[in-house]
Amino acid sequence: MRVPSRVGVAGVTGAVGLEMLAVLEQRSFPTELVRAMASGQREGRTVRFRGADLPVETLTARSLDGLDIVLFATGAEVSREFVPAAASAGAVAIDNSKAFRMDPAAPLVVPEVNPAAAFEHRGIIANPNCSTIQMVLALKPVHDAAVLKRVVVSTYQSVSGTGLAAIEELTAQSRAVLSDEPVVRDVYPAQIGFNCFPHIDDFDAEGNALEETKMVLETRKIMGLASLPVAATCVRVPVFRSHALALNVETEKDLDPAEARALLASAPGVRVVDDPASAGYPTQAGTAGTDEVWVGRVRRDPSVPHGLWMWVVADNLRKGAALNAVQIAELLIGEPRH
Amino acid sequence: MRVPSRVGVAGVTGAVGLEMLAVLEQRSFPTELVRAMASGQREGRTVRFRGADLPVETLTARSLDGLDIVLFATGAEVSREFVPAAASAGAVAIDNSKAFRMDPAAPLVVPEVNPAAAFEHRGIIANPNCSTIQMVLALKPVHDAAVLKRVVVSTYQSVSGTGLAAIEELTAQSRAVLSDEPVVRDVYPAQIGFNCFPHIDDFDAEGNALEETKMVLETRKIMGLASLPVAATCVRVPVFRSHALALNVETEKDLDPAEARALLASAPGVRVVDDPASAGYPTQAGTAGTDEVWVGRVRRDPSVPHGLWMWVVADNLRKGAALNAVQIAELLIGEPRH
């Protein structure tokens, strides 16, 4: 891999794409050039990067020529078309969509959990689902110490994962409710202003939302635990940024909460805040914009022999998407920095 | 019990007390007189009831004289003082606070689940915790058919359970966030505007919130299952009214989701809405002001042999508090109407 690299960011005008640019800049990722791309791009649009206005090019097969790394913040449909094209053109494509995550030929990588997998790519590396990334960072130290037996998780997911239009919808619906005006729905299938709903991505015939299935299958793939029992309910909550998880784990061996806290506190990318009586626990508003996965409320679940509860919060646009993708790129150029 | 009854409502100026008056009126509860009471009451305050202004009396031992039933919507401290006084004065006290719920001498009653317990009172009947009430309505048909083995629940609880000041705090903080102004905290230990936090009631030495312990112990008491394994994480979400539960149950026998749906649909007090692909699931905004416990997202959890997920939503001020208390009173006067 050439360093400094020729880097492309596709889908650069969305919430994740803009965050990818910000992370590249903040982490001083070594670049020879940075090309900003978006599909169906209007003429003349620019994005700010390192103090300059970067023109946004229309994403085409030709626009992917001559790049070493392309970060894709595009939706699955666009990724299915252009990610293989980027790989064919000689780049490594790091794709944030769900398109290639379960493809056996594409590694699914969280640098703190399975960094070696990044080097087994054939031109395409998949960036996992936002909720899954923060969950596996909390599960890894627990598994290493006590062996996971079963995971049951309920999520509290912010709207920014859906994109900028969803942020606007939460804003507009919240204003409408506060003014006693009618709520207008556009992006979401149910009201999000002052409301929660258990519907993230499409449903399968058994009634599972695809987001829930992602948390099952992606966790198994990242952790290399092909048959790990995982059960998930995914819920959208009226919060702008960061996702939270109520995470219940059952382990083969006993793991004292104090020991779990110590293991988590020394795990890469994880921060522990656990003094609940003094309101010492992570929240979404308190962690928005941060890079870490925050864990609190570590306590025994006595309803099984070796049960443990954790409350896991992370910025879904940073560690849950853009930061994780850039960390994968750092692995590839031999500059992993947590 | 004398019918029509002489009924008192204590704590009548709070969110639950006002709802109790509304439920008594809406269900045409037969009364000879209704006395409205509140502790630390300012002079001259009135509340509307059956088209008239009812004066709010200061809650004293003397104000409890001559009543058949007193509904208490007071906090635990006030209830500890006045609930036994009401019972001593000859009334049956139905108390919504946590003060007497685990008292072996006080039945803890959900009319659809353990109605017979209501008649074993010695003057005091406890009204369960809001989240627990809606959970046991969903658990009962599942237990009757397949025998509960373990329950894991995460809650999404609205602010109205905390009271009118919390509703104002959510309103004010939401406005502040939308206007990019500083968020002022008063009622809650953490920001509630566009934020969730896992902190409901006080914490014990093991790090469990009392609200979580209530869901364990009260469920066991109501269902008569003294050692049922129950694990709970309770979370406050920025929603005004109704609580939601992501409810994971493991049963001894297999229970097909379609069969579970049918059993739930025919259970008293329960309504099933389960067509998720068409956004057919209950939500908090959609159920506020209703009397039923709404169940959706009924599906298998294949991470254990007999696992089932449910999404359970109910108005915490109605079935979770005021309605359940009035239904207990209806049992006592022999007029149960679901």
pLDDT in tens, B181-207: 999 999 999 999 999 999 999 999 999
Q: Which residues of B touch A174 (CB under 8 A)?
A: 174, 178, 194
Query: Taking Cα atoms as reference points, which of B264, B301, B306, B138 lies closest to residue A208?
Result: B301
**Contact A64/A84 with Cβ under 8 angstroms?**
no
Q: Tell me the Cα Rg of chain B.
A: 20
Tell me the backbone φ, ψ of residue A81, rounded to 5 degrees.
-80, -45
Strand partners, A58: A38
Residue-wise pLDDT for A258-269, tens only, equals 999 999 999 999
Determine, for residues A233 and B244 on separate chains, whether the beta-carbon distance falls below 8 Å.
Answer: no
Contact between A18 and A11 (Cβ < 8 Å): no
How many angstroms separate the CA of residue A13 from the nearest CA in chain B? 23
For chain B, say whether A238 makes contact (Cβ under 8 Å).
yes
CA B327 to chain centre: 12
Q: By the CB < 8 Å criterion, does B189 face chain A?
A: yes
Quick one: which of B44, B73, B70, B72 has its CA closest to B57?
Answer: B44
Q: What percent of chain A has pLDDT over 70?
A: 99
CB–CB contact B274 A237 (8 Å) = no
Length, in residues, of chain A: 338
Residue (of A32, A40, A44, A23) closest to A1 by Cα position: A32
Q: What is the pLDDT of residues B41-82, one digit of tens each?
A: 677 899 999 999 999 999 999 999 999 999 999 999 999 999
Residues A76-114: pLDDT tens digits?
Answer: 999 999 999 999 999 999 999 999 999 999 999 999 999
**Does B182 contact chain A (CB < 8 Å)?**
no
Q: Is A299 within 8 Å of A258 (Cβ atoms)? A: no
Task: Please list every residue in chain B whose beta carbon sits closer than 8 Å to the beta carbon of residue A197.
Answer: 279, 281, 283
pLDDT band at B1 (very low <50, low <70, confident <90, very high): confident
A176 touches B: beta carbon within 8 Å: no
SS3 B247: strand
Selected residue of B184, B283, B298 to mutate for chain A interface (largest A Cβ count, 10 A)? B283
Run of H or E residues at A95? strand A92-95
Residue A302 pLDDT level (bands cut at 50, 70, 90): very high
Q: Which of B320, B263, B290, B273 is nearest to B138 (CA)?
A: B263
What pLDDT score does A4 carry?
96
Which pLDDT score, from 0 to 100, does residue B75 have?
Answer: 96
| Interface mutation target, options B177, B178, B199, chain A, most CBs of A under 10 Å | B199
A180 contacts in chain B (CB < 8 Å): none
Q: Is the distance from CB of B118 to CB of B92 less than 8 angstroms?
A: no
Report DSSP state, residue A281.
S
SS (HEC) of B14-42: CHHHHHHHHHHHHCCCCEEEEEEEECCCC
pLDDT tens-digit series, residues A305-321: 999 999 999 999 999 99
Q: Kindly report the nearest CA distance between residue B260 and chain A, in angstroms.
A: 14
Structure tokens at B195: 């934020």
State which residue of chain A sits closest to B173, comparing Cα positions: A178
Identify which of A239, A246, A277 has the shortest CB distance to residue B203. A277
Q: Does B39 touch chain A (CB under 8 A)?
A: no
Dist CA A327 CA A322 (whole Å)? 9
The catalytic site residues of B sit at: 130, 243
A287 at B interface, C-beta within 8 A: no
Q: Are B124 and B97 in contact (CB under 8 A)?
A: no
Q: CA torsion, points B212, B214, B217, B218, in degrees to nearest 10?
A: -130
State the Cα–Cα distance between residues A245 and A254, nearest whole angstrom.
Answer: 22
- What pLDDT shows up at residue A338? 47
B positions 109-138 inside 8 Å of A (CB):
none
CA B127 vs. chain centroid, Å, equals 7
* Mutation site for B-interface testing, chosen from A148, A151, A154 by largest number of B Cβ within 10 Å: A154
**Position B57, amino acid:** E
pLDDT of residue B337: 52
**B193, B207, B296 member nearest A297 (Cβ):** B207
pLDDT at B40: 81
State which H helix or E strand residue B219 sits in. helix B210-223
pLDDT digits (tens, 9 = 90+) for A79-89: 999 999 999 99
Closest CA to A286 of A244, A324, A321, A247: A244
Catalytic-labelled residue, pool A121, A130, A143, A234? A130
The order of strands in the sheet holding B5-10 is B46-49, B52-58, B31-38, B5-10, B69-72, B92-95, B124-126
Report whether A140 contacts A260 (CB < 8 A).
no
* Token pair recorded at residue B178: 């939308």
Q: Which of A178, A194, A237 lies closest to B285 in CB terms?
A: A194
Report how far residue B300's alpha carbon sits from residue A204's, in angstroms, rounded to the nearest whole number.
12
A180 interfacial to chain B (CB closer than 8 Å): no
Catalytic site residue A130?
Answer: yes
Task: Tell me the CB-side half-sphere exposure of residue A21, using CA atoms within 13 A.
Answer: 26
With CA atoms as reference, report the closest residue to A9 among A28, A34, A46.
Answer: A34
Decide if B186 touches A, using CB distance below 8 A.
no
Average pLDDT score, chain A: 97
Residues B231, A307: C-beta atoms closer than 8 Å: yes
CA distance B252 to B147: 5
Quick: pLDDT tens for A221-250: 999 999 999 999 999 999 999 999 999 999
pLDDT of residue A337: 52
User: In this prediction, what percent of chain B has a pLDDT beyond 90?
Assistant: 97
B237 touches chain A (CB under 8 A): yes
- Quick one: pLDDT band at residue A1, thresholds 50, 70, 90? confident
What span, in angstroms and rounded, lies between the C-alpha atoms of B295 and B282? 7
ipTM of the complex: 0.96
The DSSP H or E segment spanning B244 is strand B243-251
Question: Using an 8 Å Cβ cutoff, are A183 and A172 in contact?
Answer: no
Nearest-by-CA chain B residue for A303: B229
Is A306 designated active site?
A: no
Q: Convert the pLDDT of each residue in B80-134 to its tens digit.
A: 999 999 999 999 999 999 999 999 999 999 999 999 999 999 999 999 999 999 9
Taken in order B77, B81, B82, B87, the sign of the CA dihedral is: positive
CB-based contact B198 A174, cutoff 8 Å: no
pLDDT at residue B320 tops 90: yes
B154 touches chain A (CB under 8 A): yes
d(CA B258, nearest CA chain A) in Å: 10
Distance CA(A180)–CA(B5), nearest Å, equals 39
Residue of A nearest to B234 (CA): A246
The average confidence (pLDDT) of chain B is 97
Q: What is the mean pLDDT of residues A42-64?
A: 93
> Quick one: pLDDT at residue A43?
75
| Cβ contact B274–A207 (<8 Å) | yes
The answer to whether the CB of A145 falls within 8 A of the CB of A259 is yes
For residue A250, give both structure tokens. Answer: 């059952």
CB contact A207 to B (< 8 Å):
yes
CB of B205 within 8 Å of any CB in chain A?
A: no
pLDDT single digits (tens) A159-170: 999 999 999 999
Contact status of A220 with chain B (Cβ, < 8 Å): no
Residue of B nearest to A249 (CA): B152
Residue B63: phi, psi to the nearest 5? -70, -15
Q: What is the pLDDT of residues A125-177, one digit of tens each?
A: 999 999 999 999 999 999 999 999 999 999 999 999 999 999 999 999 999 99
CA geometry: angle at A232 spanning A226 and A234, to 5°?
135
Residue A247's closest CA among B154, B143, B249? B154
For every residue of A120-139, DSSP letters joined together read G-SSEEEPPPHHHHHHHHHH
In the beta sheet, which residues pair with residue A269?
none
Q: Which of B152, B233, B257 sits opposite A207 (nearest CB)?
A: B257
Q: What is the pLDDT of residue A41?
A: 66
Nearest CA in chain B to A299: B207
d(CA B236, CA A324): 29
Distance CA B125, CA B122 (A): 8
Provide CB contacts within 8 A for A61, sequence distance 6+: A82, A85, A89
Task: For chain B, say whether A178 makes contact (Cβ under 8 Å).
Answer: yes
Answer whether A154 sits within 8 Å of B150, measured CB to CB. no
CB contact under 8 A, B283 and A191: yes
